[in-house]
A and B are shown apart, each in its own frame.
Chain A
Amino acid sequence: MGKTFLLKAEVRTKTGTKDAARIRKQGRVPATVYGHKETPTSLSLDAHDFVQGLHQGHRFMEVEIEGKLEAMIVKDLQYDHFGRNVVHVDFMRVDVTERVKVQVPIELKGVAKGTHEGGIIEEHATRVEVECLVANIPEKIVVGVKDIGVGDVLHAGAIELPDGVDLVSPAETLLVTCHLKAAAISAEEGEIEEEPATAGGPEVITEKKTDESSAG
């Protein structure tokens, strides 16, 4: 991915729900920037430009605030309830030579050996935390699952990371497992078997207490 992405931002003087909503109506996104022991600043960005950069995989952005360029990384994103629009962005000030801890998504590549043996691949974690230089933040980490057979597991410690990128997540973090479909079948049957227990209606906790008090 291209390492930097240029954005223009305006400083927000008015903050709060109503002003943020007003900004969103104008096609902009409210944002905040913090870090490096400087005072946090409220900003607003062009929504279209920002989302475009985000979809291109840019995490590290250079933001022009009042004619001054600042290097930042996107630290957090907030979406609306439908998950369609970004409603707020958190930026963190960084230095280009600084090492940062970031969450990077994992992409599984290939068809697992176990799937030909009647197993299914289950993804337990979709992201891992890594530490790297700001300019070297990987867009994603590709994990090959070709050699995973039935009963095999893949831990975070076993994945290959690009040069200069160190793993921060515990090495024993479970990423991928391959298990037989039969296990899924029995679990499903077990679930069905459990159900008749509530056939007569659920147990009412408060009613039980009144019965006991009347008996006593």
Chain B
Amino acid sequence: MAMMPKRVKYRKSHRGKMKGHAGRNNYVAFGEYGLQVLETAWVSGRHIEAGRIAATHFLKREGKVYIRIFPHKPISSKPLETRMGKGKGETDYWAACVKPGQICFEIGGVPEDVAKTALLRVSHKMPIRCRFVKRRHTI
């Protein structure tokens, strides 16, 4: 089942703006390899779940998969063949707002080639362009 919050303060939210780039969560923090988002988008809980399944099935329960994004934002939509008006539609799905630079998935405990293939499979499930990154050289 797709990811969604357990408790929220408000049932619906405004669309909001997604300006700029990821000022944080933009480096591999938990695993050794990661998948970095290159575009701005709403990534739905279903996309995230599909990515998780793609990675875990490929890894055959080796290593560890970390999901760095969570769908906090309710996205509403109106039912088909409904006239405009009569208030905001009901929540259709939950999405994570991602910006360029954000790390969405991480993998640790497996060799680089395995992680690369697994994350490539994950990237095919994402609605945006992504790239494979390694842990950054830090001091």
Q: Considering the complex, which residues of chain B in the window 64-121 have a beta carbon less than 8 Å from any beta carbon of chain A?
A: 64, 91, 100-101, 108-109
Closest to B34 in A: A83
State whether A82 and B26 are in contact (beta carbons under 8 Å apart), knowing that A123-B109, A181-B62 are contacts in the complex.
yes
| Residue of B5, B91, B108, B137 ringed by the most chain A CB atoms within 10 A | B137
Chain A residues packing against B (C-beta within 8 Å): 54-55, 59, 74-77, 79, 81-83, 102-103, 120-123, 126-127, 181, 184-185, 188, 195-199, 201-207
Considering the chains assembled together, what is the distance between the CA atoms of A167 and B11 in angstroms? 51
| A103 contacts across to B, CB distance below 8 A | 138-139
Interface size range on B against A: 20 to 34
State whether A79 and B6 are in contact (beta carbons under 8 Å apart), knowing that A121-B109, A123-B108 are contacts in the complex.
no
CB of B65 to closest CB in A, whole Å:
9
| B139 contacts across to A, CB distance below 8 A | 59, 74-77, 102-103
Number of A-B contacts (CB under 8 A): 80
**At the interface, yes or no: B44 with Cβ under 8 Å from chain A?**
no
| Residue of B23, B32, B64, B91 ringed by the most chain A CB atoms within 10 A | B64
Assess the A203–B27 pair: CB atoms within 8 A: no
- When the two chains form the complex, which single residue of A102, A127, A204 contacts B9, counting CB atoms closer than 8 Å? A204
| A199 contacts across to B, CB distance below 8 A | 1
| A74 contacts across to B, CB distance below 8 A | 139
Assess the B7–A202 pair: CB atoms within 8 A: yes
Assess the A81–B9 pair: CB atoms within 8 A: no
Considering the chains assembled together, what is the distance between the CA atoms of A121 and B63 in angstroms? 8
**At the interface, yes or no: B22 with Cβ under 8 Å from chain A?**
yes
- When the two chains form the complex, which single residue of A122, A126, A207 contacts B11, counting CB atoms closer than 8 Å? A207
| Contact sample, A vs B, 25 pairs, CB 8 Å cutoff | A74-B139, A77-B137, A77-B138, A79-B27, A82-B21, A82-B26, A82-B36, A82-B101, A83-B27, A83-B36, A83-B133, A102-B139, A103-B139, A122-B109, A181-B61, A195-B3, A198-B5, A198-B6, A201-B4, A202-B5, A202-B7, A203-B8, A204-B8, A204-B9, A204-B10
Assess the A83–B9 pair: CB atoms within 8 A: no
Considering the chains assembled together, what is the distance between the CA atoms of A77 and B40 in angstroms? 26
| A120 contacts across to B, CB distance below 8 A | 62-64, 109
